[in-house]
Structure 1
Amino acid sequence: MSKSEFIVIGAGLAGAAAAWQLAERGHAVTVLERTTPANSQGSSHGSARIFRYAYPSPLYTSLVQRAKRGWDALEAASGRQLITPTGAVDFGEVRSPARIARVLEDAGIDHELLSRDAARERFPQIAFDTDVLYHPGAGVLDAITTVETMLALAEATGNAVVHPNWEVSGIERRGAGFEVRSTDGTIVTGAKVIVAAGGWLPHLLADLALPSAFLESFPTLEVRQEQAFHLPWRDADAAGNSYPAWPSFIHKRSEFETYGLPGGRDAGFHGQKLAQFNGGPTLPSALDQDGQIRPEMRERIIRYAEEFLPGAIPEPYAETTCLFTNAPNEDFLIDKAEGIVVVSACSGHGGKFAPLLGEFAADLATGAGTVPSEFRVAAFASGKASIAEFDGAKV
């Protein structure tokens, strides 16, 4: 049996960020990961997630600005570049570029509204069907390197230890603290627990020693096995020297929402990562994933590329799945109850907020701060969790 001040369950982006924040503040932290940090069965694997400021919600845009300060601090502390600048474009009749532009204007974020023709001239690889919002401050973040970096910095303080291949079976209250059990009988004890289990949360929820009133108010989470495809760029040379000539994009139509971004290592630096937002099959929890690509989704993405991406060859050369864990209305769910902090769900767009999610978790666990009321369980229970005019997109 080992003892720690704080126990973090899950070593994805949110869990690693929480461990980093706590360790930097001088707290003893134990991180428990069921396999390996940022493994391919979760939501934080791979090298390509969208970093963007473009939200129709002023709240989320302001939180990205706060998160960016955390990214800057993380890059400075590690000496690693974790976000590659690419710029981003938003378009589609449902996306409403003009509405997002007003939010960015109020936040003081550099952006342009382009006509469809002007956007096609600047970005001929994309066949825009509406006016376009462009903001140059967007980029692509390296998820797995970010997780590795945050955990390494946490361990370097001497305050954190990471246990891979440690599958949690449940939590029990012991006096003023907690006892976390593994499936093999190993026990870790601590004063506070942070649960950042992503798609495994629905499976674990009943065994986390949470108060019954909290559980009764907890919203139903939807786990999806998303499907992502890498398409080669037509103008990329053999060395992939076009990277990252493409911007990331979000295209939202009444039919469905699509997002794309330069694939980084995930695509050998010569292709675009493309997916339908919340297009994958729903699962009871992460335990039920099969990692299989659905042929109908592949065909849908190919048809989309043929229509809207003249700069890409509509023949996927790599495919992958990734879990989204969605709270109602695509909001975040971050709350605490009697010594346990829950940081999930991030609803498919949490990657860009990683340093801030860690700050929120650490603040709740230590009592140093709070989180927006919209992310608390009570907001979902009262039906007030929805952010006005919010429409999320994968990170």
Structure 2
Amino acid sequence: MTTHLDTVVIGGGAMGSAAAWALASRGRAVTLLEQFSLGHRNGASHGATRNLNPGYADPDYVAMLAEAVRLWDELEADGGERLLARTGVVNHGTDPTLGEVRTALRGAGLRAEFLGAAEAAERWRGIRFDQRVLHMPDGGQLNPDAALPVLQRLATGRGADIRHGVKVLDLAVEDDGVRLTVDDGGRTEVVTARQAVVTAGAWTAKLLGTAVALPRLTVTQEQPAHFAIADEGALWPGFNHVPGEGAEFADWYSPVYGMQTPGEGVKAGWHGVGPVVDPDRRSFTPEPAQMAALQRYARTWLPGVDADSLTDISCTYTTTVDENFILDRIGPLVIGAGFSGHGFKFTPVVGRILADLATGAGPAPAIFSASRRRGAI
């Protein structure tokens, strides 16, 4: 049996759901194929909190941030669900770009102000600060567990066909589009389409194989944790902390990010340093040395939590060498990949860009080109 489609989206995580929503909103015929059920925990688009961290100075990202804030508000209004808790975000430590970030955000109409360490500690006593702090009130926490159903429900309401439990086994580029072999609940089906939007997350390289040349994508299993709150009166913004020099930073794996997840505790984690994995063969268990170091971090820098009472979390990062996304069109394939652990905040904007690429409405910013030479950051 062969099914003929116009546009098929492969992967129904955040970016695929947003692409289906954006395409359906333009009246385009779109079918989304997702190998797992809605709300699964196998990829990167689950859980109740992701930081909307506005801490960017690059003009492309800053423009996307300003658009994202507006689009998240629209999605909340259209979907009738709260998707963003505006707790603000504080970035601190030795990041040398904080001054540039402040200037860029204020130029885009987003709020950003420096606070001294003592003032910041008085406002957010659950966090230890040792240097000035960049406070960004427009940031906060997004809720993936609420956002994905909203995106898919709105897409369906505008004509999209959302199919869960359908795994793409093979993808071939042909002269007139793409040909997919899919497993739909144990039944093999052939699907042809004029074009495919590939938003397969950790499965991108496995799916595309040699069909197209992409920048290297590294899939890691990240293991943040929720720490129990010890200070019930503390207020918790989202936070990002860049280490300094000296012995107390010797066992840091990377900068640390964190936020409060209501009902679960304060989430904290290393950024993009987990073990490299095959997404189909993950352990879902934390790497012991990294988890022990994260507990030491919490004891020193998060006085508002109990570092000995924690629940580990597991998710994937799919990371490019320079941590810039891949948003590009190659023949009949529109590709959204390599979101490198910082893409979720841009979800509706990525959906809009992928829809632009699929409809010929315009290119993505050049920084996201698949053919651009990339150097490590």
When normalised by structure 1's length, the TM-score is 0.88
Please name the residue that 1:282 is paired with.
276
Q: Shift in Å at residue 108 of structure 1?
A: 2.7
Residue 219 of structure 1, aligned match among 212, 215, 219: 215
- Aligned partner of 2:292 in structure 1 is 299
CA distance in 2, matches of 1:108, 1:22: 28
- The equivalences for 1:338-357 within 5 A come to 338-357=331-350
1:189 maps to which residue? Answer: 192
Query: Match for residue 364 of structure 1?
Result: 357
Partner of 1:239: none
Secondary structure class of the residue paired with 1:219:
coil
In structure 1, the partner of 2:78 is 77
In the TM superposition, residue 286 of structure 1 has moved relative to its aligned partner by: 1.6
Q: Distance in 1 between matches of 2:240 and 2:98?
A: 10
Identity fraction in percent: 33
Cα root mean square deviation, aligned? 1.8
Q: 1:253, CA displacement in angstroms?
A: 1.4
- Structure 1: tracts of 5 or more residues without a match: 237-241
Match in the other structure for 2:258: 260
Q: Which amino acid aligns with 1:146?
A: A
Give 2:275's aligned amino acid.
P
Contact 2:6 2:194 (8 Å CA) reproduced:
yes
Aligned counterpart, 1:179: 179
Residue 37 of structure 1: aligned partner: 38
Q: Paired residue for 1:162?
A: 162
Corresponding residue of 1:249: 239
SS at match of 2:305: coil
The more displaced of 101-110 and 340-349 is 101-110
Q: Which has the higher strand share?
A: 2
- Contact 1:227-1:279 within 8 A present in 2 as well: no
> What pairs up with 1:30-109 in 2 under 5 angstroms?
30-94=31-95, 96-109=97-110
Q: Is the 8 A contact 1:3 1:189 kept in 2?
A: yes
Q: Is the 8 A contact 2:16 2:199 kept in 1?
A: yes
- Give the conservation status (yes or no) of the 8 Å contact 2:171–2:208: no
Tell me the alpha carbon deviations over residues 258-295 of structure 1, each in whole angstroms, 9 at most, x when there is no partner: 0011113xxx25x1011011131122x42232211112
Deviation per CA, 1:169-208: give whole Å up to 9, x if none.
112245523221114521222211000001111211216x
* Structure with more helix by fraction: 1
Summarize deviations over 1:227-255 as a string: whole Å, max 9, x none: 1100111233xxxxx6x930000001154
Q: Which moved more, 1:94-103 or 1:83-92?
A: 94-103
> Partners of 1:174 and 1:332 in 2: how far apart?
26
Secondary structure of the structure 1 residue equivalent to 2:314: strand
> What is the one-letter code of the residue matched to 2:177?
G
Give the match's secondary structure for 1:167: strand
What SS class does the counterpart of residue 230 from structure 1 fall into? strand
1:224 counterpart letter in structure 2: T
Residues 218 and 276 in structure 2, CA contact (< 8 A), matched pair in contact too: yes
Cα distance, 1:151 vs. partner?
Answer: 0.6
Q: TM-score, normalised by structure 2?
A: 0.92
Q: Contact 2:88 / 2:138 at 8 angstroms: preserved in 1?
A: yes
Amino acid at match of 2:82: Q
1:52 shift after superposition: 2.4
- Counterpart-to-counterpart distance in 1, 2:173 and 2:296: 53
Cα distance, 1:60 vs structure 2: 1.1
SS of residue paired to 1:153? helix
Partner in structure 1 of residue 25 of structure 2:
24
* C-alpha separation in 2, matches of 1:288 and 1:74: 35
Contact kept in structure 2, 1:228 and 1:273, CA below 8 Å: yes
Match of 2:207 in 1: 204
Is contact 1:332–1:344 with CA below 8 Å preserved after alignment? yes
1:313 is paired with a residue whose SS is: strand
The alignment partner of 1:150 has SS state of: helix
- Three-state SS of the structure 2 residue aligned to 1:178 is strand
